[in-house]
Amino acid sequence: MKAWAQFAPPGRFPLDLNNITLTSSAVAVLLFPYESRLSTLLIVRTSHDKDKHSGQISFPGGKADDSDKDLVQTALRELWEETGITLDESNLIGTLSSLAIPVSGFEVTPIVLYLDQLPEITLSEQEAESYHILSLQQLSDISHRKVMDMKRNENIILKDIPYIDLIEGTPLWGATAMILAELLEWIKAVEPLEVKKSEVRNQKSE
C-alpha cells in the first residue's frame, strides 16, 4: 500500500512472512464530528512488561476471539471493552487494508465506523491510560510530521523513524501512523473535512 510508505520505518518493506504465523486482529477507526471537524479517537495503551505495543498510541482494538463471527465484531467488542463505547454494524463504513505487524505477530484489519456524536468514554485501566481526539485536519498537517531515533532496548536503536508529533510525550508512529496515512488518502478528496456520514460513504464507494 503506497500510503503506508509515508510512515513505514526504514526497511519495513518488503516483508518476508515466510515461516511466520500471524494472528488475526482488528482495530476500530472511528470517524465523528468534533468541534466542527471530522475527527478520530486514539488511545495510549497501558504499559505492560510483556506487551510489545504497551505505552504506544493506537486505535482501540485487539486480537480476534473464537466467539467473534468476523473482524467487524472483533473491532466492536474491543472498542467496548477498552473505551465503553457501544456501536453496531449500522455504524460500519468499510475496512482499510490489512497490515502485518511481524514484531508482535499480528495481522491487523482497520474497521472504519462512523457516529454522529462521540459518547462518554470510560477507559479500561488495564487496556488504556488515556484517550485523544485528533481531527483529520491536524493529522494531515505536514508540520506535525517528524523523524526520530528510537531506543527499543539496551541493544536496539531504530533510526530515522517517521512519526506524527501531536500528543505530548508520545510519538504517533508505526502501524497506527501507517493506518492513518491510508485513511487520509482514502478521504482526501472530500473537502472541507467537516463532512456528513453520507459524504464519507460516497467517497468510499467512488
Q: Check which CATH number belongs to the domain holding 98 and give it.
A: 3.90.79.10
Share of the chain above pLDDT 70, in %: 84
| Cα(25)–Cα(100) distance, integer angstroms | 10
Residue 192: the pLDDT is 47
| Cα(76)–Cα(79) distance, integer angstroms | 5
Overall number of domains in the chain: 1
Is 51 inside any structural domain? yes
Per DSSP, helices labelled H in the chain are 71-83, 136-140, 174-187, 197-205
Is 8 inside any structural domain? no
Question: Which range, 48-52, 88-92, 152-156, 200-204, has the best average confidence (pLDDT)?
Answer: 88-92
Supply the range of the domain harboring residue 183: 22-193
Residue 168: all three cell numbers together:
505530548
Looking at the DSSP bridge assignments, the partners of residue 45 are 128
Is 9 inside any structural domain? no
Is 156 inside any structural domain? yes
Q: Which amino acid is at 124?
A: S
Q: Is the pLDDT of residue 156 over 80?
A: no
Q: Which of 61, 65, 59 is nearest to 75 (CA)?
A: 61
- Mean pLDDT of the chain, nearest integer: 87
Is 12 inside any structural domain? no
Is 101 inside any structural domain? yes
Place of cell 478520530: 40
Q: Is the pLDDT of residue 155 over 80?
A: no
pLDDT class of 3 with cuts at 50, 70, 90? confident
Residue 82: all three cell numbers together:
477498552
Residue 103: the pLDDT is 81
Residue 194: the pLDDT is 45
User: What mean pLDDT do residues 42-46 have?
Assistant: 95
Query: pLDDT per residue over 116-153, tens digit each?
Result: 999 999 999 999 999 999 999 999 999 999 999 877 66
Is 202 inside any structural domain? no
Is 203 inside any structural domain? no
